[in-house]
């Protein structure tokens, strides 16, 4: 790819990861080398199960037994911070091996202080010229908005959770 751009999928609605995964599938389908990292997720979602079998896709390690951030103890937060900071550094170091990188929920990792905004912005600024990046999450800071070439805001107009219907296997995860 001649010039990679930065996509930001944000907002309070369902579909940020779904849209990002769809773009990753499109990229892999066209022969691009795809890297996918998920922050603050357990790694047991249906999309990772199917994508891990594709030759053009590499799934980065995830933190096992991750909890919602509000339920984390200080020790768990410290462990998560160390893991996610190291994960971002690993991805930066390997970025030349990819044409497309998805950093799913990296915005939330920034807002919850698991990775440094400055580190993510430095990665965006200094990424290989052909690397396409997709970043997802709620409430992106202004600096991240300014760094993006595409911004898609996904707004929740209605969601089954509002009726007490939880996440369903194969649909939400």
pLDDT, mean of residues 135-145: 98
pTM of the prediction? 0.92
User: Residue 89, CB half-sphere, CA atoms under 13 Å: how many?
Assistant: 9
Q: What Cα–Cα distance (Å) separates residue 126 from each residue in 98, 101, 131?
A: 14, 14, 10
- 122 contact partners, CB below 8 Å, separation of at least 6: none
| Least confident residue range of 82-86, 114-118, 154-158 | 154-158
Structure confidence by residue, pLDDT tens digits, 57-95: 999 998 887 888 888 889 999 999 999 999 999 999 999
Q: Where are the beta strands (DSSP E) in 19-167?
A: 34-38, 57-59, 100-104, 132-137, 150-153
Q: What pLDDT does 38 receive? A: 95
Q: 37: phi > 0 → left, psi -120 to 50 → alpha, else beta; which?
A: beta
Please report which helix (H) or strand (E) contains residue 7, including its range. strand 6-10
Domain covering 6-163 in this structure, CATH number: 3.40.50.300
- Give the per-residue pLDDT at 169: 86
Query: Rounded CA gap, 35 and 147, in Å?
Result: 20
Give residue 1's pLDDT band: very low, low, confident or very high (50, 70, 90): low
> For all residues of the chain together, what is the average pLDDT?
94
Q: Which residues pair with 6 in a beta bridge?
A: 133
Q: Looking at the predicted structure, is the pLDDT value of residue 9 above 90?
A: yes
Bridge partners of residue 70, in order along the sequence: none
Domain ranges of the chain: 6-163
Q: Which backbone phi and psi does 15 adopt, to 5 degrees?
A: 130, -5
Taking 80 as the threshold, does the pLDDT of residue 6 lie above it? yes
């Amino acid at each position: 790819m001649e010039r990679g751009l930065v996509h930001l999928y944000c907002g309070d609605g369902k579909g940020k990861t779904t849209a990002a995964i769809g773009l990753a599938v499109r990229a892999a389908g066209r022969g691009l080398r795809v890297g996918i990292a998920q922050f603050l997720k357990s790694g047991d979602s249906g999309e990772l199960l199917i994508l891990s079998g594709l030759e053009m896709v590499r799934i980065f390690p995830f933190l096992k037994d991750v909890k919602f951030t509000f339920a984390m103890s200080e020790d768990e937060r410290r462990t998560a911070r160390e893991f996610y900071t190291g994960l971002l550094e690993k991805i930066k170091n390997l970025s030349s091996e990819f044409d497309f990188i998805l950093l799913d929920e990296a915005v939330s990792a920034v807002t919850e202080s698991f990775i440094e905004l400055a580190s993510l912005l430095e990665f965006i600024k200094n990424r290989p010229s052909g690397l396409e990046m997709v970043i997802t999450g709620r409430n992106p800071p202004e600096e991240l908005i300014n760094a993006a070439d595409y911004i898609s805001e996904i707004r929740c107009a209605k969601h089954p959770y509002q009726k007490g219907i939880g996440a369903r296997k194969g649909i939400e995860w």
